[in-house]
Amino acid sequence: MDLEQRLIMDRNFFTGTNPQAMRRVCAEDVRLSLLISETRLDGRWIWRLGERSHLVFALALERRGA
């Protein structure tokens, strides 16, 4: 199991930023699906903030017709 999956299973993420849930919303929301042709993660990295570390990611959305 990778780090992202472990953190999600442990519910160790900021509310509203679960990457699996965000991808699901983009795919299943009717209004968004009309606007977005592609959703992908553009990398993951560790963001060190003092003594805390955060796994962060960029969610790239491609607009239809762009």
Q: Which residues contact 11 (CB under 8 A, 6 or more apart)?
A: none
Residue 39 has pLDDT above 90, yes or no: no
Amino acid at 26: C
Whole-number average pLDDT of the chain: 84
Q: What is the model's pLDDT at position 5?
A: 82
pLDDT number for residue 12:
80
Q: What's the domain range around 14?
A: 3-63
The total number of structural domains in the chain stands at 1
Q: Note the pLDDT of residue 24.
A: 85
Residue 49's pLDDT band (boundaries 50, 70, 90)?
Answer: very high
Single-letter code of the amino acid located at 13: F
Cα–Cα distance between 19 and 58 in angstroms, integer?
9
State yes or no: pLDDT of 48 exceeds 90: yes
Among candidates 1, 37, 30, 5, which has minimal Cα distance to 18?
5
Please state the pTM of the whole predicted model: 0.59
